[in-house]
Structure 1
Amino acid sequence: MAIYLTKDSRVLVQGMTGSEGMRHTRRMLAAGTRIVGGVNPRKAGTDVDFTDRVVPVFGSVREGIDANGADVTVVFVPPPFAKAAVMEAADVGIPLAVVITEGIPVHDAVAFQAYAAARGTRVIGPNCPGLISPGQSNAGIIPADIATRPGRIGLVSKSGTLTYQLMHELRDIGFTTAVGIGGDPVVGTTHIDCLTAFEADPDTELIVLIGEIGGDAEERAAAHITAHVTKPVVAYIAGFTAPEGKTMGHAGAIVSGSSGTAEAKKKALEAAGVAVGSTPTETARLVLKRLTAER
């Protein structure tokens, strides 16, 4: 099994005909994703030939749903138009919108997250790598070849590059789903959402949580783990050496005084029974240790 994305997911790509959309659509197709169309009002009615697959371009998300039953959209639309793109998808009831676009203004993200939630559309992102259920589907920019097979681990991460590294470190065990939720101050799907979904997934035996400095998402995740998660959780927190008051990489990764520090997050997670690695490699070793102990 997997969470949010399966072999049956039918994917539209908003912004498919742009350079990034084209590049990553080709990669998603190579990973086995069922891409049923792209969306670009200016190129509606045309087709894009991806060598072994011709993908139609629709004028709207509604047209894509009506023609091919799409239930996932991946958004590569530039920042000024991303809000409208997500709202369009939510208006027609698409269940999942994966927003890859970075640089979206916070007030736009707040607006489209609330709009989508009110209409039953789950948003992953923005400024995220998307999600992959190895052997089934890949929606976003996660390199499919770093996760060579399905397995027993569920992963939720703020960081795209750390998602890739942990997937590579644990490739011999494999994953049910890996979800990159993004590191912006406002994201649609949280650590807690993924923890809840992985807890309910019978094929996920262990959960890896990757966090980073800034905000209190990891502390809230720790409280949720204490109250609601029975499966083992292993975590890594990026940013132990980050200087105070500096934004580091992600817009949400800023520390003020003792608030949002890596040390505070580590203590909260450890108090919830989570094993926290000091490096990605040590985190992978902790995963192997916990899985062996569970067996």
Structure 2
Amino acid sequence: MIVEAFWPDKFQLIGTATSLVFYGVNLTLVVQLLPTLRRARKWTTAATFISFLLVTAFEVLVSYITYTTSFDHRPSFESIDVKPFLLALRSLGMVATWVIDSFVLYQCFTVYSIYKKQLWVIALSFLFFLSSLGSGIYLLAWTRDLGIQVLPHFPLCLVNKFIMSFLIIVKLFKHRRMLECEFDIEKDKQLTRPYTTLIQILVQSYALHASFSLVFLVLYMAKHAAWRLVLPNAVQAGLLSHLLVRFSASRSMRDDSFNSEKESSSIRFSHSQSSQWNTTETVT
């Protein structure tokens, strides 16, 4: 079976080139997150590293296929069995999606676990996650069609991520509103800034991932070969959406700790200055 029949040159070449740019951005974010990941919970750190390694393997495999079909025309590469490659690509993409979605589900659970009576809210998200897990396992274990099967797995993942992101955003809005009601306007800007930043980055990250996924779905259902251009970028966009949320949260925590440390040091400085003034006044 000739591999070129599955990977047209122009679409695969452009898609791989742009996905490598995405991968460079993801690699930079992971490196910047390393100091904060050491202090984070083991599960969240493991989810980030596992998803990054899976996407790395996906990118290496796509790059190898692109190189083989576009540049290397030696006789040994003329005829390649694509079944292992497509199965590996499908497996890596799905498992990476599950890991990232499980992290978002964990975030949603953490936000709503403050009040145990509200835990039922995430039940729908959990059911969608199980559905996407089941559909993916079916595709990997029993489906023999080598075409990348996106229905119903891709829509389930998109809907699930939308529900979880929406629930987290609603909870952040409620927390921000509560702070605005309890504190005066001067302090509101500092106290609510992390919530506003996280809400914005959640919306932007989901929009980024959803846009690539929807374009891929439309092209695939229309049986247009350009879906091969979008697919590698959709996988990278899924990881990027996860890393952007983590990077925004870590930066907000770092800024808050810096501001609180600065405020406490200024208080200590003013206290020492006042003590020195009182001592001088007593001596004279």
Which TM class, normalised by the smaller chain length? under 0.3
Name the TM-score, length of structure 2 as normaliser.
0.23
The higher relative CO (CA closer than 8 Å, separation ≥ 6) is in 2
Query: Which structure has greater strand proportion?
Result: 1
Query: Which structure has greater helix proportion?
Result: 2
